[in-house]
Amino acid sequence: MARTDFGPPDYREMVPPIIKENYGDWKYHTVPRPGVLRHVSNSGAVLHSVRVASPRLVSSEWIHDICDIAEKYCDGYLRFTTRNNVEFLVADETKLEPLLAELDEKDYLIGGVGLSISNVVHTQGWIHCKSAVTDASGITKSIMDEMTGYFTGKQKVPARLRIAVACCVNMCGACHCSDIAIVGIHRTVPRINDEMASRICEIPTTVASCPTGAIRPNPKLKSVEINPEKCMMCGNCTVVCPAIKIMDPVNDGVSIWVGGKVSNARTAPMFSRLAIPFIPNEPPRWSTVTAAVKNLVEVWAANARDGERMGEWIGRIGWERFFKLADLPFTDKHIDDFTHAKTTFRSTTQFKF
Amino acid sequence: MSLVQVKGTQVELDEDGFLVDPEDWSEEMAAYFATVEEVADLTDNHWKVINYLRDYFKKFGVAPMIRKLCKDTGFSLKEIYELFPSGPAKGACKLAGLPKPTGCV
């Protein structure tokens, strides 16, 4: 029998000697230039990490290429960050400049450190997922093409700004807690193939999967029926029952959410909230989505104080100001109507005209 | 989709090898699935699990939770994996002719 349950390799086998020697003994770090971190330990050891953008979905050739670079300048050591960037870990200071030169020459984007717009956390999209309402890699590429200056540090931002893409409301990844989030949404009530549902779907599971109780059993056909008045097209039933289809190329698209954060710095973590209810899918460049994201970044960058995240900025100026400054219409879609919606309503007379 | 010949009848399977129509299930079908899911011999213990799954599905319309399966059959999850190397969902449920498990599996 095959060897099983032996877990991932111990990370200590793969950290560079300089990190092993100074583990838990670092004194401080600085950012000498965008994309480069300089860590200094109590013993005086200096480690440079050079952060480079990655498209997350990569070929093995690409992996081989970064391995070759790591071999040449970092004794074979590199790491991936939690936003899927690559960091080359340079222990030998004399190799830093040649590494930066080679990365530049090979068109790797150096950046994503500190006050910048780092990589987009994103999902499978039309590359691999059956419930994807929109693509992930395509939107990510289109957005980051616009954000390159913010990634490399050429354009300044007042604080970190996290962008995330999720291709459906499952929200795999970080959409619910990002400064700007792009989430794929449906706008069509699902269709049921009754004959197929009676064979391959667990009816009670399908009924229980609906957050609004819009689904009830249809015992005559051994299937289910959906109340279109109650359905908000989340697609959860299509996940558990393959006989229910919801895809609609015309009405499917994305929504844009703003103001989420996960850190506890200055303010508590926040969920992101709806800014734009719907933008249609426009492959391959998603130009309306990209323009909307660019607008949000620019309005925030022009108005926020130093160190103020998107959600903190909106918290200070208020949502009515935000919608005005961002030039976005406020619609009925923005008003929460799910179970505990009442807490999101305004229970004060304080507001700005 | 694919078709297999089991005891002279043609049976339709989906891309993961699950029955397209649960009505096609038979004891011979379970024996056929055993060969593709690395179950060497169908022992009494295998049949205990298969029959339990079939009865439960017939009664409630869903596959039982793993905890329920273990509690009612008396087999620990470890023993279930010894009986069905590909696990309770991909292995045991397939042999029992239950629908393919769905969700974020």
Give residue B1's pLDDT: 73
Mean pLDDT, residues A197-204 taken together: 94
Q: Does B99 lie at the interface with A, CB-CB under 8 angstroms?
A: yes
Same domain, A132 and A156: yes
Same domain, A27 and A65: yes
Residues in chain B closer than 8 A to A201 (CB atoms):
99, 102
Same domain, A43 and A72: yes
Which entry of B1, B3, B40, B104 is annotated as an active-site residue?
Answer: B104
Inter-chain touch B62–A202, beta carbons under 8 Å:
yes
Same domain, A253 and A240: no
Same domain, A160 and A306: yes
* A276-325: pLDDT as tens digits: 999 999 999 999 999 999 999 999 999 999 999 999 999 999 999 999 99
B-chain residue closest to A203, CA distance: B61
* A280-294: pLDDT as tens digits: 999 999 999 999 999
Structure tokens at B60: 């409630």
Residues in chain B closer than 8 A to A203 (CB atoms):
61-62
Same domain, A258 and A336: yes
Mean pLDDT, residues B31-56 taken together: 94
Q: Does A303 reside within a domain?
A: yes
Known active-site residue B104: yes
A-chain residue closest to B85, CA distance: A1
Give residue A106's pLDDT: 96
A-chain residue closest to B14, CA distance: A200
Same domain, A263 and A334: yes
Query: Which of A5, A124, A199 is the mutation pick for testing B, counting most B CBs within 10 A?
Result: A199
Same domain, A239 and A302: no
Query: Which of A202, A209, A239 is the mutation pick for testing B, counting most B CBs within 10 A?
Result: A202
Inter-chain touch B104–A239, beta carbons under 8 Å:
yes
Q: Does A9 reside within a domain?
A: no
Query: Is residue A168 within 8 Å of residue A133, measured between CB atoms?
Result: yes
Of A57, A85, A106, which marks where a domain is finished? Answer: A106
Q: Residues of chain A with pLDDT > 90: what percent?
A: 98
Pairing of strands A191-192, A244-245: antiparallel
Kindly report the CATH number assigned to the domain that includes residue A138.
3.30.413.10
Residues of A with CB under 8 A from a CB of B: 170, 199-205, 239-242
Same domain, A269 and A147: yes
Kindly report the CATH number assigned to the domain that includes residue A195.
3.30.70.20
Kindly report the CATH number assigned to the domain that includes residue A42.
3.30.70.3340
- The domain tally of chain A equals 3
Contact map slice: B 17-36 vs A, CB within 8 A: 20-22
Measured CA angle at A106 (ends A101, A109), to 5 deg: 80
> How far apart are the C-alpha atoms of A143 and A289, rounded to whole Å?
8
Q: How confident is the model at residue A135 (pLDDT cuts 50, 70, 90)?
A: very high
Confidence check: pLDDT of A121 > 90: yes
Mean pLDDT, residues A70-96 taken together: 97
Give residue B104's pLDDT: 82
Q: Does A111 reside within a domain?
A: no
Q: Does B61 lie at the interface with A, CB-CB under 8 angstroms?
A: yes
Q: Does A232 reside within a domain?
A: yes
Shortest Cα–Cα distance, A352 to chain B (Å): 44
Backbone angles phi, psi at B2, to 5 degrees: -150, 160
Q: Does A1 reside within a domain?
A: no
Confidence check: pLDDT of B71 > 90: yes
Inter-chain touch A200–B63, beta carbons under 8 Å:
no
Same domain, A31 and A80: yes
* A52-67: pLDDT as tens digits: 999 999 999 999 999 9
A162 CB contacts (<8 Å, ≥6 apart)? A117, A118, A121, A174, A178, A179, A180, A260, A261
Mean pLDDT, residues A26-44 taken together: 97
B-chain residue closest to A243, CA distance: B102
Inter-chain touch A242–B102, beta carbons under 8 Å:
yes
Q: Does B48 lie at the interface with A, CB-CB under 8 angstroms?
A: no
Query: What structural domains and CATH numbers belong to chain B?
Result: 2-96 (1.10.10.370)
Domain that holds residue A237: 191-244
A-chain residue closest to B38, CA distance: A1
Mean pLDDT, residues A3-7 taken together: 91
Mean pLDDT, residues A173-180 taken together: 97
Mean pLDDT of chain A: 96
Q: Is A353 helix (H, G, I), strand (E, B) or coil?
A: coil
Same domain, A61 and A95: yes
Confidence check: pLDDT of A140 > 70: yes
Q: Does A203 reside within a domain?
A: yes
Residues in chain B closer than 8 A to A239 (CB atoms):
102-104
* A236-266: pLDDT as tens digits: 999 999 999 999 999 999 999 999 999 999 9
Shortest Cα–Cα distance, A23 to chain B (Å): 37
Shortest Cα–Cα distance, A205 to chain B (Å): 7
Same domain, A178 and A266: yes
Give A343's DSSP letter.
G
Mean pLDDT, residues A73-78 taken together: 97
Residues in chain A closer than 8 A to B53 (CB atoms):
none
Inter-chain touch B63–A240, beta carbons under 8 Å:
no
What is the DSSP code string of A167-213?
SSTT--SSGGGSSEEEEEE--SPPEE-HHHHHHH--HHHHHHT-TT-
ipTM, 2 dp: 0.89
Q: Does A49 reside within a domain?
A: yes
Inter-chain touch B104–A240, beta carbons under 8 Å:
no
Q: How confident is the model at residue B8 (pLDDT cuts 50, 70, 90)?
A: confident
> How far apart are the C-alpha atoms of A17 and A90, rounded to whole Å?
11
Mean pLDDT, residues B39-43 taken together: 92
Q: Does A5 reside within a domain?
A: no
